[in-house]
A and B are shown apart, each in its own frame.
Chain A
Amino acid sequence: MSAVAAPDVETLVLGEPGYGTMTSEIAAPMETRPGAGWLAIFLVSLAALLLGVALITYTIATGIGVWGLNRTIGWGYDITNFVFWVGIGHAGTLISAILLLFRQRWRTSIARAAEGMTIFAVVCAALFPLIHMGRPWLAFWVFPYPNTRGPISVNFRSPLLWDVFAVATYFTVSLIFWYVGMIPDFGTMRDRSKGLKQRVYGFLSLGWDGGARTWQRYEKACLLLAGLATPLVVSVHTIVSFDFATSIIPGWHTTIFPPYFVAGAVFSGFAMVITLLLITRFALHLERYITAVHLEKMAKVLLTTGMIVGFAYSTELFIAWYSDNPFERFTFLNRAFGPYAWAYWVMVFCNVVTPQIFWSKRARRSVPILFAAAILVNVGMWFERFNIIVISLHRDYLPSSWSHYTPTLVEVGILVGSFGLFFTCFLLFVRLAPVIAFHEVKHTVAEQMEAAHAAR
């Protein structure tokens, strides 16, 4: 890790590059042939994606009996993956919207990548309820539309339907936010390319002119969208948690779920942002823009949200004891010491113990430590959802129904396939669109230079 400027003057872009230099450096991945590193990661991702496509085809053609689900455990890998991916999708909008409202300048280098990540994560998330339906060609039944079955409408009191609206709205608004953010940058690309590329970027840039009136409304629109996206982000994982919290399964029926899920989503999302940005930074040589300052701030978010999640785990245990409810007590004892205890302790280790390393400044600025910790947190957060879903279901009220769930290779393969989809989309994105917002990072540099001159 290279040395950075003194902590009192926050240097978010190293070396005060000129605006033109920044344009060419950030546009480089879109204008040069991909390197061996990018190609290697891309081929691995594509292979994983193809595996997923094959196994999903097999599942749909045969039926979801090819999964390890049974009458007691109706939700397993599929819903775990859904909640996991929706959670990953939260950091993007958090970084772009909430940090924009709080005027956190360090977001500019990482916001675009995080927003892209959101889109792809939500696509991965939406895949799982779809294939879990068993007959995905009837998926349109979740939407209220005039039909010949009554005409009977969808049940607007069902949390599963709220989920449809929440995830669909989240996807749409995130897509709008992502695209609107890229319009000036597509304008930049249009003005520096020729031929077909100019036509495509020109089409996407919507005739962007960069005039003062355009910028004025544009900035206002971004601020308004950020204001809308902030409560939206909180609502989405709240509603996802309602899928569980409004049921009467011990371990699910708790009021702590909404804040606990939102904190967990931010935690896992930031872990994934760190993973992706470290890869991007390495593969596209963006060390100038994604600096140790950025890494350190993200590590601090990881530490904070990790402790919130840890606090939620202990609150759950305390309330289970304090409630004096035998079912509730049993559920949590079973979680920590039952047949799936290993999964519980993997979660505790990854999510509560791992982030503690970030009390050390050296760890926060070390690429290998950050990368390893972010991967562990991703693993831990996947297990958190597995624990909530599978462990709570496998032993509920009726001991004669108790059962065990083991995923089949098909389910594991589909999870791998969803990672393939996610990384394939992301890797294509970094080649086709500016992964760092030209206008935002130039603005940051302008302010940085202004501050430096004022200090002199």
Chain B
Amino acid sequence: MPPVDSFLAPSGSPRRRIHTLAFENPGATLEAVHRLRAEGFEVHDVFSPFPLHGMDEALGLAGTRLGFATLVGGLFGAAIAFGFQVWTHAIDWPLIIGGKSPLALPAQVPVSFELTILCAAFATVGGLFVRRRLFPRLTGERPLAQPDPRVTDDRFVVLVVERNASFSPARFRELGRALGSVEIVEGWRTL
């Protein structure tokens, strides 16, 4: 399938030689990542139909800071909602309603709470979309980063990048077969 979508790739980045190992179950995939990294191969990414627990540690990924986006969104929502209620009721147009003082704080809790949640949810999803560059593509094709359409079905693919001349394709294929890979592919890709 021709690569059509290159949104995940920063523009101007060079094309790299890549090698992939395909597996049929999560256990073998996880083991392969551990072995490949132990042997000095650079595992760029692992594609799977569902999240693999233990993969973050196996790949040495840092934890995400998405929670900060949630916090900032929530604080923003609370501040906007609370500030707006105080402004309308106590500053801009003070009206006594139901005998309550213009600054009736308990009455302002529900709306402030709802907007806290709303803005926090928007910030969380916005953070996810921005960081993973998830946005609607009109072409409807697969993203370039995805090595095989079956990774959303029943395949687990480990993608290894060839960094320099010390990379031994022969050793890679040998290791791949030993690890039980069902398909070993090499190609070029902009990363």
Q: Name A's B-contacting residues (CB within 8 A).
A: 18-20, 23, 144, 150-157, 159, 161-162, 165-166, 168-169, 172-173, 176-177, 180, 183-184, 187-188, 190-192, 198-204, 206-221, 224-225, 228-229, 231-232, 235, 239, 242, 438-440, 442-443, 446, 450
Would you give the shortest CB distance from A114 to chain B, in whole angstroms?
18
Contacting residues of chain B (107-148) with chain A, CB-CB under 8 angstroms: 107-108, 110-111, 113-115, 117-118, 120-122, 124-125, 127-129, 131-143, 145-146
The answer to whether A213 and B45 touch across the interface, beta carbons within 8 angstroms, is: yes
The answer to whether B51 and A439 touch across the interface, beta carbons within 8 angstroms, is: yes
Question: Once bound together, how far apart are the Cα atoms of A215 and B66, in whole Å?
Answer: 13
Total interface residues on B, CB under 8 Å, equals 72
B152-175 interface code vs A (CB 8 A; 1 in, 0 out): 111000000000000000000000
Q: Name B's A-contacting residues (CB within 8 A).
A: 5, 7-8, 24-27, 45-52, 55-56, 59, 61, 64, 66-67, 70, 74, 84-85, 88-89, 92-93, 97-98, 100, 104, 107-108, 110-111, 113-115, 117-118, 120-122, 124-125, 127-129, 131-143, 145-146, 149-154
The answer to whether B129 and A206 touch across the interface, beta carbons within 8 angstroms, is: yes
Would you give the shortest CB distance from A167 to chain B, in whole angstroms?
9
Question: Once bound together, how far apart are the Cα atoms of A168 and B115, in whole Å?
Answer: 10
Known: A156-B111, A165-B110, A242-B110. A212 touches B59 (CB 8 A): yes
**Residue of chain A at shortest CB distance from B152:** A188
* 9 A-B pairs closest in CB distance: A202-B140, A199-B140, A19-B154, A206-B134, A153-B88, A157-B107, A20-B154, A191-B149, A162-B110
The answer to whether A221 and B114 touch across the interface, beta carbons within 8 angstroms, is: no
Known: A221-B124, A225-B125. A216 touches B136 (CB 8 A): no
The answer to whether A153 and B92 touch across the interface, beta carbons within 8 angstroms, is: yes
The answer to whether B8 and A209 touch across the interface, beta carbons within 8 angstroms, is: yes
Instruction: Collect the chain A residues with CB atoms within 8 Å of residue B120's CB.
Output: 224, 228
The answer to whether B150 and A213 touch across the interface, beta carbons within 8 angstroms, is: no
The answer to whether B45 and A211 touch across the interface, beta carbons within 8 angstroms, is: yes
Instruction: Collect the chain B residues with CB atoms within 8 Å of residue A166's CB.
Output: 110, 114
